[in-house]
Amino acid sequence: MSTVVAIDGPSGSGKSSVSRGVARRLGLAYLDTGAMYRAATWWCLDQGVPLTDAAAVTAAVRDLPLVVGVDPDGPTFVVDGRDVGVAIRTTEISSHVSAVATNLDARAELGRRQRAVIDAERHAGWSGGRGVVAEGRDITTVVAPDADVRVLLTASEGARLARRARELHGTADAVAIAATHDQIVRRDRDDSTVVEFQVAADGVVTVDSSELDLEQTVAAVLDVVERACAAR
């Protein structure tokens, strides 16, 4: 029986690392939908599309030549034949991605593509039809509300800021946290105007990772998965 695990949550909650860990443990594919928004942002900038022009952004996203690799040990993002896995993680992309993420028509297009990947992996994709762990901000409510397991992974603002500061700057001192604050708080504020990812919807299990390390958080999510699958 294939399994679809949907994991939502705010920036810095650990979604990507935890989702990859869960996918590895279960032998499932892994879909980073946030990276798809980043790839779309990279494409718009590369093509000279003004991010303030909503219609132009939507058209660019519809034409986006994106190929997504779903191996949790090496997820890949290739746009027009170019590997953009590193390029989409830059500060420039982080500072502009909300312009795409808050574009409702662009969201609809990327959501359609995300559902296509999930459906493929549910049947006979990279994982041989075993299933997929998909993570983002609207997976549990919009993209895959029918997922077998739905989790909202959250953490306190302080914990999220410290994690992202260590990821980007190698330290969580006051200077690094201040430099990270806008990325976390502003992005969450902007994106919350078009999708709810901070409060669990009905049927979604909340896992708070504020006091947990990576392995403990993976274990907590795996426990949710085990209990949900046992009830199927």
The tens digit of pLDDT for each residue in 3-43 reads: 999 999 988 888 999 999 999 999 999 999 999 999 999 99
pLDDT tens profile 50-61: 999 999 999 999
pLDDT given at position 226: 96
Q: Please tell me which residue, 62 or 199, carries the higher pLDDT value.
A: 62
Residue 198 scores a pLDDT above 80 = no
Residue 178 has a pLDDT of 79
For 144-194, the pLDDT digits (tens) are 999 999 999 999 988 888 888 887 778 878 887 877 777 777 777 777 777
The band of 123, judged by pLDDT with boundaries at 50, 70 and 90, is very high
pLDDT of residue 159: 87
Q: How far is CA 126 from the centre of its chain?
A: 19
Q: What is the pLDDT of residue 223?
A: 98
Euclidean distance between the first and final Cα of the chain, in Å?
A: 10
Query: Is 12 annotated as a binding-site member?
Result: yes
Predicted pLDDT at 10: 87
Separation CA 100–CA 106 (nearest Å): 7
Collapsing DSSP states into helix, strand and coil, what is residue 7?
strand
Instruction: Please state whether beta strands 131-136 and 66-69 pair in parallel, antiparallel, or not at all (unpaired).
Output: unpaired
Q: Give me the chain's average pLDDT, please.
A: 92
* Domains of the chain (ranges, CATH numbers): 3-226 (3.40.50.300)
Q: Residue 137: which of 119, 122, 154, 161 has the closest Cα?
A: 154
Name the band, by pLDDT with cuts 50, 70 and 90, for residue 220: very high
Check whether 17 is labelled as a binding-site residue: yes
Tokens of 202: 């009905």
- Tell me the CA distances in angstroms from 5 to 34, 102, 214, one per residue in order: 16, 24, 18
Q: How far apart are CA 51 and CA 39, in angstroms?
A: 14
11 is an annotated ligand-binding site residue: yes
27 is in an annotated binding site: no
16 assigned to a ligand binding site: yes
Do residues 11 and 167 lie in contact, with contact meaning Cβ atoms separated by under 8 Å? no
Residue 14 annotated as binding?
A: yes
Is 131 a known ligand-binding residue?
no
**Amino acid 42: pLDDT:** 98
What's the pLDDT tens digit per position in 131-147?
Answer: 999 999 999 999 999 99
